[in-house]
Amino acid sequence: MERILHVLNGDATAYSFAEAGLPGEVAVWREMLSEGPLLEASQPDAALWALRENWLSTEFGNQPDDAEMYSQNVIAEFNRIVQPNAYDQIVLWFEHDLFCQINLVFLLSRFSNVGLEKPVLKQVSVNQFDGVPDFKGLGQLTGPQLASLYPQAESLTDYELALAARVWAAYATSDAQALTHLLSDDFGRLRYLRDALQAHLARLQVREDGLTIIENQLLNLVQVAPKTPRQIVGEWLSADHIYGLGDSSIESYLNRLLERNVIQEREGRLIEVDR
């Protein structure tokens, strides 16, 4: 019997995937490598995990069992996923946005280093779904809808793995020049990666007022009318179709604007500060 591993892009997808009725085992990728500090691609994974666990616990609130949870939810799943010959087929379910594409690139870069012999790597990667007008991601779909995508799974070749390794090396060091140069490459079946990288390069740029594109988008929402932080987060998430960030990440962006006194909170509402 063919051994299949489905690698899902998060718990939201996993909840529905349980009802998809597809054969194989399931692993869930829970890191968010599009945000926060990284290490050079040549550094050992153990060092990267230590850096990431410390940043995540600091950025989103320290908990006594954070290290243990990270080990179980991220490191253990990673070790299940990147096994050279444990499976005959590994199917990667990642959508089009920067959040997913960078996680996908990281995993493919690791597969490029382990000397695959047996497993066939495939991807299910979409940016829309018929009947879902405001498609944001796979987590919106039902089990049967996810199952309907499985026949579209396409094999990834050594070309995509080598490209992913180059992209990860540049992304991990925030090498904007190298990333810009890569935009002229043929992206093969990683068809959504170019747009994701362009969005990343856009947010690396700092405007004359000292704001990045995401910070400016949040400030624009504040300028329309005083709103609660939750309203601002909700409006930004509703409008976004490329970054794929979650509530906690956007709250962190807002907190940094508050710390820099770009906006203030008065009576539970956010307002712009005259500068």
My answer on whether 163 and 253 are in the same domain is no
pLDDT of residue 273: 87
**Residue 86 structural domain:** 4-202
Q: Looking at the structure, do residues 80 and 141 belong to the same domain, yes or no?
A: yes
- pTM value is 0.95
**Structural domain contains residue 207:** no
- Residue 185 maps to a domain: yes
pLDDT of residue 275: 61
Question: In 3-state terms, what secondary structure has residue 235?
Answer: helix
Sign of CA dihedral 232, 70, 8, 168: positive
Same-domain pairing of 100 and 128: yes
Whether 191 and 224 map to the same domain: the answer is no
Closest CA to 22 of 93, 95, 80: 93
Partners of 132 in beta bridges: 129
Structural domains of the chain, count: 2
Give a yes or no: residue 208 inside a domain.
Answer: no
Structure tokens belonging to residue 174: 């925030």
Contact 111, 27 (CB under 8 A): no
CA distance linking residue 107 with residue 29, whole number of Å:
10
Q: Which of 202, 229, 257 is the last residue of a domain?
A: 202
Question: In one letter, which amino acid is 1?
Answer: M
For 270, the 3-state DSSP assignment is strand
pLDDT of residue 156: 94
- Would you give per-residue pLDDT tens digits along the chain (275 residues)? 789 999 999 999 999 999 999 999 999 999 999 999 999 999 999 999 999 999 999 888 766 677 889 999 999 999 999 887 889 999 999 999 999 999 999 999 998 877 666 678 999 999 999 999 999 999 999 999 999 999 999 999 999 999 999 999 999 999 999 999 999 999 999 999 999 999 999 999 998 889 999 999 999 999 998 899 999 999 999 999 999 999 999 999 999 999 999 999 998 999 998 76
Residue where one domain finishes, among candidates 176, 202, 228: 202
The total of other beta-carbon atoms located within 10 Å of residue 244's CB is 25
Question: CATH code at 261?
Answer: 1.10.10.10
247-259 vs 213-224: helix axis angle to the nearest 10?
A: 80
* 205 membership: H or E segment, kind and range: none
Tokens of 211: 């704001």
